[in-house]
Chain A
Amino acid sequence: MIPLTQIEAEIGAIAGAHAAAAERLLALAEAVLEHWVAARGGDPTGEQVEGFRLLALHRQGARGVPSFNACRETCREIAYHYNLLRLEPDAGQEERRRRMMVMLTMHLALFVSGKMQIEGLGEFCCASRPLRTETNH
């Protein structure tokens, strides 16, 4: 697997050739989620959800870790921007969309790499793990 730091560096450097950039960004986003799944002892899935392996990997990564859903919409936005760049290449907004897809992919990389260092990241919201569950109230 490509190291996460290298993935982040490559995301930040992607420019030009919009269709190719979209393909590469999607592949890098998948590579980020592969790190998360593998770090938790899983075998990254090759399946797809709604036509995207990225969404299947997210679903796999969130299994048993509800706070991983903090990046659910980011993954869906990456898929959406991929579709825009691939299916509407002449819409006149390619540059803006490519930049946005770069930032979305970067956000996913930052979130996942952060979560691998600070497990609590994203856990304010919905998935705090109790330190103890049996108590006398």
Chain B
Amino acid sequence: MKTEYKRVAYYPGCALEGTGHAYNKSTREVGKALGLGLEEVKNWNCCGAMEVKNVDPKVQTYLSSRVMSIAANEMGATVVMAPCNGCYHNLKKAEHELAHDASSREAVERISKNAGHPAYRAGQVETIHALDWIKDGIGEEELKRRVGNSLKGLRIANYYGCMYTRPRHIFPEKDQGPGSESTSKPHFMDDLLAAAGAGNVDFPLKTACCGGAHVLSDSDTSTKLVLNILRAAEAAGADVIATECPTCHSGLEMHQVRAEKVLGEKTKVRMLYFTQLLGIALGLSPRKLSVHENVSDGIELLREKGLA
């Protein structure tokens, strides 16, 4: 276990204050239940998401670096935890740029000086995902000991999306053999939910594209991609798709509704954040985990399975 993960700087990012509010709430509640501390990054800003980096990637690098600079230089943190795949990805990307590209370092130093704060230097903090935080901060064995409401009987397709593992070069800690995460077949969410008693189904589209940048827009392409993911999860025997990204989660939920309305294609599989599922296993109430905020009706399923 990594003791430095017991208390981390928490970077929720913009999505977790909006469409991903239930992910924010359930992450905080699960952390509390497991004794993992979170200290929100003070005065954090947008990571640059997709919009800024499409205009100017160095400004995106700066925006992500500012979050890490505050964590390191103002809060004295050594670890920043970002539950959103987009934020996690962008902070890791900024870290890589600052470690390997002199022009990015110059741009960040210049903008940071103008903004009046110390420039972030590569290596000052380690950026991790919420999956790393629980997997390496608590581990499966300890998690098993704390499970009071086993997810036994719940069949789960774990959906990671593509930003969690791609591109490989910005995740040097992955693909490092036993115990590390895999970029081709990620398994941390599978491991944690199995420890919570759930049955994970073999789901070959776990890293497939859900429509990415277009998933929240009214796009037929996204609807078809999402519908295919939902059907594949059902064909694999899943009751639930577990998610770990607010963009993927929103996309799956919204396009499930749209697929029924526009294409007349109804699917029954439900979407829940992995933190909501872990919280249920730890005995927290669905309301405390904001399951009622999901578009996809998870409460009914949890009742059917005797979990709520």
- By a beta-carbon cutoff of 8 Å, the part of chain A in contact with chain B is 66, 69-71, 73-74, 76-77, 80-81, 96, 99-100, 103-104, 106-107, 110-111, 113-114, 117-118, 120-133, 135, 137
Contact among B107, B184, B213 for A76, CB-based, below 8 A: B184
Contact A81 B163 (CB under 8 A): no
Given that A103-B228, A107-B208, A107-B229 are known contacts, is A70 also in contact with B166, CB under 8 Å in the complex?
yes
Contact B225 A110 (CB under 8 A): yes
Contact B205 A104 (CB under 8 A): yes
* Beyond A107-B208, A123-B212, A125-B167, 11 extra complex contacts between A and B, CB < 8 Å: A96-B235, A100-B204, A100-B232, A107-B229, A110-B228, A120-B213, A123-B50, A130-B56, A131-B54, A135-B59, A137-B58
Contact A122 B209 (CB under 8 A): yes
Contact A126 B166 (CB under 8 A): yes
For residue A125, which residue of chain B has the nearest CB? Answer: B163
Chain B interface main SS type? helix
Task: Kindly state whether residue B195 has any CB partner on chain A within 8 Å.
Answer: no
Q: Which residues of A contact B232 (CB under 8 A)?
A: 100, 103-104, 107
B81: min CB distance to chain A, Å:
20
Contact among B56, B162, B219 for A118, CB-based, below 8 A: B219
Q: Which residues of B contact A117 (CB under 8 A)?
A: 221
Task: Kindly state whether residue B1 has any CB partner on chain A within 8 Å.
Answer: no
Q: How far is the CA of A48 from the CA of B72 in the complex (A)?
A: 48
Task: Kindly state whether residue B55 has any CB partner on chain A within 8 Å.
Answer: yes
A38: min CB distance to chain B, Å:
20
B285: min CB distance to chain A, Å:
34
Q: Which residues of B contact A137 (CB under 8 A)?
A: 58-59, 62, 107, 110-111
Contact A69 B231 (CB under 8 A): no
B50: min CB distance to chain A, Å:
5
A104: min CB distance to chain B, Å:
6
Given that A81-B204, A124-B213 are known contacts, is A130 also in contact with B225, CB under 8 Å in the complex?
no
Given that A73-B208, A114-B221, A132-B56 are known contacts, is A124 also in contact with B50, CB under 8 Å in the complex?
yes
Contact B204 A77 (CB under 8 A): yes
Given that A126-B167, A131-B54 are known contacts, is A103 also in contact with B212, CB under 8 Å in the complex?
no
B201: min CB distance to chain A, Å:
10
Q: Which residues of A contact B229 (CB under 8 A)?
A: 107
Q: How far is the CA of A69 from the CA of B207 in the complex (A)?
A: 11
Contact among A69, A71, A126, A130 for B54, CB-based, below 8 A: A130
B207: min CB distance to chain A, Å:
5
Task: Kindly state whether residue B117 has any CB partner on chain A within 8 Å.
Answer: no
Contact A125 B205 (CB under 8 A): no
Contact B204 A128 (CB under 8 A): no
Contact B209 A70 (CB under 8 A): yes
A112: min CB distance to chain B, Å:
10
Task: Kindly state whether residue B236 has any CB partner on chain A within 8 Å.
Answer: yes
B306: min CB distance to chain A, Å:
27
B262: min CB distance to chain A, Å:
15
A115: min CB distance to chain B, Å:
9
Contact B86 A124 (CB under 8 A): yes
Which of A77, A110, A124 lies at the interface centre, i.e. has the most chain B CB atoms within 10 A of its CB?
A: A124
Q: Which residues of A contact B212 (CB under 8 A)?
A: 70, 120-125
Contact B207 A73 (CB under 8 A): yes
Residues 188-230 of B contacting A (Cβ, < 8 Å): 204-205, 207-209, 211-214, 219, 221-222, 224-225, 228-229
Q: Which residues of B contact A123 (CB under 8 A)?
A: 50, 212-213
Q: How far is the CA of A117 from the CA of B219 in the complex (A)?
A: 11
Contact among A104, A113, A121 for B209, CB-based, below 8 A: A121
